[in-house]
Amino acid sequence: MSKKQYDEKQIIERGKSFQYAFTCAIVVNIIIYLLSDFIGIGFANGAIFLINIGLPIAIYTLSMIIKNGYDGVSNAGEKLNISALGGFGVALLIIFLPDIISGKKLLIDNAMITESAGALLISILTLVVVLVYWIKKHIEKKSENDE
């Protein structure tokens, strides 16, 4: 990332977004620990991995989109990146959702959050991020056309 792609305000907002994501990662790990050790809800390793990686990335990306820090000044490649993220979310849904619907894979099995639950959460989060991005772009374009 070249600093010329983003103005000063965007760089500050991107830094704040990293802070939010880092804090989210810590909080998620604390919640997983509390649920596991004190309440007795277990987590499959795949679920922990997907939640620990996906949730902070979603928070980071949503924060950047909402605060206008995602698209650089040059706007090079961001639409392709967000579309690829959406493709990833759809791919996860295609892979996991049929087995969840048919009952072959469960979201919770023997008081344990399964990898399927983690994948479903991440696929939904990625699709929410993409939806927020395109809605924000549509609103910005509409407001530019109104001016």
User: How many domains is the chain partitioned into structurally?
Assistant: 1
State pTM to two decimals: 0.80
Quick check: 116 and 96 in contact, CB under 8 A? yes
In terms of C-beta density within 10 A (0-12 exposed, 13-18 middle, 19 or more buried), how is residue 124 classed? middle
Residue 92 forms part of a structural domain: yes
Q: How many angstroms separate the CA atoms of 3 and 15, rounded?
A: 13
Q: Is 111 helix (H, G, I), strand (E, B) or coil?
A: coil
Q: Which of 72-76, 94-98, 122-126, 128-132 shows the lowest per-residue confidence on average (mean pLDDT)?
A: 72-76
Residue 107 forms part of a structural domain: yes
Residue 107 CB neighbours (<10 A): 16
Residue 13 forms part of a structural domain: yes
The parent domain of residue 80 ranges over: 8-146
pLDDT, one tens digit per residue, over 61-118 is 899 888 887 776 556 567 778 888 889 889 989 998 898 899 888 888 888 898 999 9
Residue 45 forms part of a structural domain: yes
Residue 3 forms part of a structural domain: no
Residue 2 forms part of a structural domain: no
Residue 1 forms part of a structural domain: no
Q: Is the pLDDT of residue 3 over 50?
A: no
- β-pairing, 42-43 vs 112-113, is parallel
In terms of C-beta density within 10 A (0-12 exposed, 13-18 middle, 19 or more buried), how is residue 132 classed? middle
Query: What backbone torsions phi and psi does residue 107 show, to the nearest 5 degrees?
Result: -80, -35
Residue 30 forms part of a structural domain: yes
